[in-house]
Chains A and B, each alone.
Chain A
Amino acid sequence: MSDRKPSSLTIWLGLADNAFTRQKTVKFGDSTAVNSGRFWSILIVVVLALLWITGSILNWIEPFYWPTIGGTWERIVKLLSEGFRNTSLWEHLGLSVYRVLSGVIYGALVGIPLGFAMGLSSFARGLFDPIVEFMRPIPPLALIPLIILWFGIDETAKIFLLFLAALFIMTIAARSGVNSVRISKVHAAYSLGASRLQVLRRVILPNALPEIFTGLRTSMGVCWGTVVAAELVAAEKGLGSMIMIAKNFLQTDTVVIGIILIGIVGYAIEMIMRLLERWLIPWKGKG
């Protein structure tokens, strides 16, 4: 019976094992023997879409709780042409992204040198360690009240919050990047005649880049979550404020569209960062 080879389509769909997995006798516990299961992925998406469509057509849905597909489409068209509250959808989106990028960039500009100093000097390590270790477990959102007291609710306040969120992640990433350098590489560089500055620039920095980049990726993710939440609390524009205001007007469709956009942008940021990582740091994990 099982002599017949499965077709490449059933293998692609994950309904049959590929030639290597087929020969394995131990499959439970071997994570490489768990195939993509693509068929089931496609099935669940199709089923959910069909549910939404039929629900919309048969009027199962109360638009106050969840938008119909037709209503959502109309709202998308309207948001794209008129914007939301005199601000285009792209401006809401762009503003949120801009805040995240600013926060991450400032955080990296301060955090990376700080982390390097902590990894290279006892003085800097001793001086900043208590602060970094204390701030590390505090969720950035808990700082919002204090930041509103200091800066009010203008743009500076939001970017400062995101800066703080990114700062400690970047500091810790840079520090662990410095700490991860294998001593034989440093020794090799000195034995090849490198000066301390050259060791820093030509060995310690490139060696730390993979971890710095992982820090950037994490900061982007954390800041994206933080910006949306911060905009929920206090903002006129931005995706977070858009869905909060839409809620006040009982525009459930706008809320759902906003949530979907937030998800897509967050995912896109992660994908772009992974792509950049593969392109900029091909040696990651290969030392």
Chain B
Amino acid sequence: MSGIRIDDLSMIYEVPGGAPVEALSHVSIDIKEGEIMTVLGPSGCGKTTLLNILAGFLSPTRGQVLVGDHRVTGPGAERGVVFQQGALFEWLSVAQNVAFGPEMAGRPRAEIRKRVEELLDIVGLSGFGDKPVYALSGGMQQRVALARCLANDPELILMDEPLGALDALTREKMQGLVLQLWKEFGKTIVLITHSVEEALFLGERLIVMAPRPGRIEKEYRLPFADRGLVEDARDIKASQEFVETREEVLSMIWSMEEEIMGRGDGQS
């Protein structure tokens, strides 16, 4: 096992009767094994396209993604994906959802049951295994989604705005869980978000993307994810360093948004 290499990705959509849209332009990133990286940017910056290419749902116009020495050509069990919401199988119980991956791989039943129980315990859902997923709150459903992904023991976990549909309080709690799982399982994680605070708090490394064409605007190395494992989340988010970085990133994103709106003066 080794890291992930994103090698000069470009993605161009042909639009009938218009100029082609460059959703991604020459994006290269190397992700170390065990790293947690967040990707942030205004809408249209290509962050979701990037994640879909990493997951293997889209093939890029140019460039490639390597997981170890293996080139990504389609979805695979070694790259788990956590979606925003509504990607759980509502016809299955909580435990059956978590067991889905190992069952597809034909693992022995006893092993699956044990693994599911462990994972439900870790994400704080022990005792909920027999419940139908639709009986759970949004936050609990995302816990199931995390457990389902981890059940397959993937090398890389891709998260597409996993906490985007949750209310602010639940979201903060879930951010803590994501960090805890990252620490506990040592997985490589790429998390897409449109929340600046979340991107700063969860990313050891933060990629800020800009639109038209979708590209990497700036990259940060951040200490907050590591600190989040030991310190109180509110203290970190209120610390001077966090606030300063947040304002810097925010104003960067704002000026991009304004450029999109066609004003481009960075004021108001």
Chain A interface residues toward B at CB < 8 A = 182, 184-185, 187-195, 198, 202-203, 206-207, 209, 281-283, 286-287
Contacts and interface: CB of A to CB of B under 8 A. Distances in A.
B147 to A, nearest CB: 12
A187 B83 contact: yes
Contacts of A189: 89, 100, 104
13 contacts: A182-B87, A184-B87, A185-B89, A187-B81, A187-B87, A188-B81, A189-B100, A189-B104, A190-B75, A191-B81, A193-B77, A194-B104, A202-B100
Q: Kindly list the 9 A-B residue pairs having the minimum CB-CB distance in the complex, ordered from nearest.
A: A193-B77, A286-B134, A192-B101, A190-B75, A184-B87, A206-B91, A283-B90, A191-B81, A188-B87
A287 B104 contact: no
Contacts of B55: 187, 191
Nearest to A184: B87
Interface string B72-91: 00111101110110111111
A189 B101 CA distance: 8
Nearest to B84: A184
Contacts of A209: 91
A188 B83 contact: yes
A194 B152 CA distance: 11
Contacts of A283: 90-91, 132, 134
A192 B154 CA distance: 9
Interface residues of B, number: 27
B87 A198 contact: no
Nearest to B134: A286
Interface string B16-55: 0000000000000000000000000000000000000001
Contacts of A282: 132
A124 B144 CA distance: 37
DSSP class of A's interface residues: helix, strand, loop or mixed? helix
Given A193-B105, A283-B132, A283-B134, A187 B57 contact: yes
B148 interface: yes
B54 to A, nearest CB: 11
Nearest to A182: B86
Given A195-B104, A209-B91, 8 more contacts: A184-B87, A187-B55, A188-B83, A188-B87, A188-B148, A192-B77, A192-B80, A286-B134
B73 to A, nearest CB: 12
A202 B104 CA distance: 10
A77 to B, nearest CB: 49
B104 A193 contact: yes
Interface in B112-157: 132, 134, 148-149, 152
Contacts of A195: 104
B90 A198 contact: no
B104 A198 contact: yes
A192 B91 contact: no
Contacts of B91: 206-207, 209, 281, 283
A196 to B, nearest CB: 11
Contacts of B89: 185, 188-189, 202-203, 206
Contact of A191 (B76, B90, B105, B134): B76
Nearest to B151: A192
Nearest to B77: A193
Nearest to A286: B134
B100 A192 contact: yes
Contacts of B134: 283, 286-287
A184 to B, nearest CB: 4
Contacts of A192: 77, 80, 100-101, 104, 148-149, 152
A56 B136 CA distance: 59
